[in-house]
Chain A
Amino acid sequence: MIRVDTVAKRFGAVEALKDVSFTARNGRITGLLGPNGAGKSTCLRILYTVLAPDSGTATIDGIDVVADPIAARRKLGVLPHNAGLYPHLNARENIAYFGELQGLSRREIEPRVEALLVRLGLTEIADRRAKTFSQGERTKVALARALVHEPSHLLLDEPSNGLDVMATRSLRQWLRELKAEGRCIILSSHIMQEVTALCDDIVIIAHGRVVALGTPGELQQRFGQTSLEDIFVQTVAQT
């Protein structure tokens, strides 16, 4: 479970996050929805500890991300925005390197990498250098890399960025499978359909604040409108 409590973060004169609180439960996909520059990435970056909040707290399974960032990261699988691979390593090596950094032994890593390659349909490009990959292939390998240590929590920053229709569809399928395994998944997106299709809980963020929060059903009930897009436009316009 991931808890974010009244988190604020400022970069110089820019207040990226003013007051953000929400909870993401295990076995559910929580979507951070918001326009570009709303603070979704900043929020995720605080969770995966590359940024520290100015105030407020964030915990992953009760572990404070500021007090013990390494223990918090151990619980996380992360797909950052536009994640890059090592161009001179092949797909297999790119995934295995992160397995080693996660503290897995080589004997543990090999079958896991194999299983991930099969699951994500990467077996054909497994031994090719990453510099030759398409955007979709890169994202798949980056996702496999984030999953190699079988993390209980997944943070995905705009995971469908640059993916074609087929790749997006299979990404959703994997995320549902991962959810079914009881993992806690947070993904950020500015694409309405993605969030509607995939998420159990939705946190709408605009101008560094949570403007609405609930299941798609709850949100519709509260705002009395049928389309999530209308809710989104309405809430964002209000702030």
Chain B
Amino acid sequence: MNSTILTVCRKEVIENSRDRRTLFSTLLFGPLFGPALFAIMINVMISQALSGAEEDITLPIVGQEHAPNLVAFLRRRGVEASADLESLEEATAAVREGEHEIVLVISPEFPANFRAGGDARVTLVFDPSQTRLNLSTRRVRGLLNAYSRQLAFMRLQARGISPLLLRPITIDEFDLSTATGRSVILLGMLTYLLLFATLMGGFHLAIDSTAGERERGSLEPLLTTPVARADLLLGKMAATMCYMMLSLTLTVAGFTVALYFAPLEQMGMSSNFGPLVALKIILILTPFVPLGAALMTLVASFTKSYKEAQTYLGLVLLVPTLPLIIATFLNIRPDLSLMWIPSLSQHLLIIELIKAEPLNLGYLGVSTTSTLLFGALLAWLAIRLYDRERLLRQ
């Protein structure tokens, strides 16, 4: 490597290591924020899933005296029947006020209709727009259906008819998703957080070494030294890449630790996130580092001040995430024709890795080559821009 590039790179690395803003974005923001957010999300999802299925629920029942057997059935299945509501009107009001998620109303005609073997009705009062996930509603409805089915079976049996008549088709479920496969949706967010942390690592330096340098008035003296502007810019990009690599490595390490402690198994998931996978993820994402550095430097070179650069770069941080969002919505699967798209290819490769699929070296080759070429193109554009006379004009 050219010694000027090395000189510039070393100076930028040293100078920025003394800047709190760089240290915050590189060492703290990415590596801590991402994994912490992730761990919290997993824990929230797990607690919600568990609470909905297992916890006892309280169900106000109006007119319990009309159907004591039904109430007993519900009680046996973990429903605590409360009797603090007296009428359908009260029930409606209580649900509307949000006091209760769901109320069961048993009408006075219920016993007569029931005994006649006719159309015995109960009413469920609920507001799906107000409740979270409608877990209680689903559960109560499921229990009522179960009770209804149980009665039907008993009545048919009493008449000497096989209850199987009521079930002409039996559905056998054969779930092909593996425990690791199920974790993919959640872990798909991982690539976004990794790309974000990688970019954040170089965010401050990319601005400081271009727009910041101009704003401070140190750019003009720098340009009077007998070195090529391309070397100056390449040195600055190299320093940006150092911090991005550092941030990427720390963030992957952070995720490895966070996922080690996350109770993924409780969700029927398993994570194969170990040191080897972590290394492979770094390998996959490394070509993205020069691309990101060139992109941020290019954009920051356009701008007049630190603040302006910050605004534009904030938008730039979103660009690599667009392919990921589209991929998640369309449920895109890895394909050779997609591997040339930077950020999307890394996303797909990492998902495969997390699914414990073998790393497709052909895909990796295309992804790496294309990402590096895009990076080179952006770096070339940035150098062209840096070579223009207008660089100095404010």
Chain A residues close to B by CB (< 8 Å): 11, 45, 48-52, 70-71, 73-74, 76, 78-89, 93, 97-98, 100-103, 129, 142, 145-146
Contacts and interface: CB of A to CB of B under 8 A. Distances in A.
Contacts of B393: 11
A84 B221 contact: yes
A76 B217 contact: no
Contacts of B129: none
Interface string B213-228: 0001111111111111
Contact of A98 (B14, B219, B221, B228): B221
8 contacts: A74-B226, A76-B224, A82-B217, A84-B217, A88-B18, A98-B221, A100-B11, A101-B226
Given A70-B226, A88-B16, A101-B226, 6 more contacts: A48-B224, A83-B218, A86-B15, A101-B225, A102-B225, A129-B18
Shortest 3 CB-CB contacts between residues of A and residues of B: A84-B217, A78-B224, A84-B216
A40 to B, nearest CB: 15
A142 B220 CA distance: 12
A87 B4 contact: no
B217 A83 contact: yes
B326 interface: no
Interface residues of B, number: 25
A203 B273 CA distance: 72
B389 interface: yes
Most chain B beta-carbon contacts within 10 A, residue among A70, A76, A83:
A83
Interface of B: 4, 7-8, 11, 14-16, 18-19, 216-228, 389, 392-393
Most chain B beta-carbon contacts within 10 A, residue among A71, A84, A98:
A84
B15 A88 contact: yes
A70 B18 contact: no
A84 B19 contact: no
Contact of A73 (B8, B19, B224, B392): B224
Given A50-B389, A52-B389, A80-B221, A102 B226 contact: yes
B14 to A, nearest CB: 8
B220 to A, nearest CB: 4
Contact of A142 (B15, B16, B221, B225): B221
Given A70-B226, A97-B7, A78 B389 contact: no
Most chain A beta-carbon contacts within 10 A, residue among B19, B225, B226, B227:
B225
Contacts of A45: 392
Contact of A80 (B16, B220, B389): B220
Contact of B216 (A51, A87, A93): A87
Contacts of A89: 11, 14-15
B30 to A, nearest CB: 21
Contacts of B222: 101
A101 B218 contact: no
A142 B217 CA distance: 11
Nearest to B12: A86
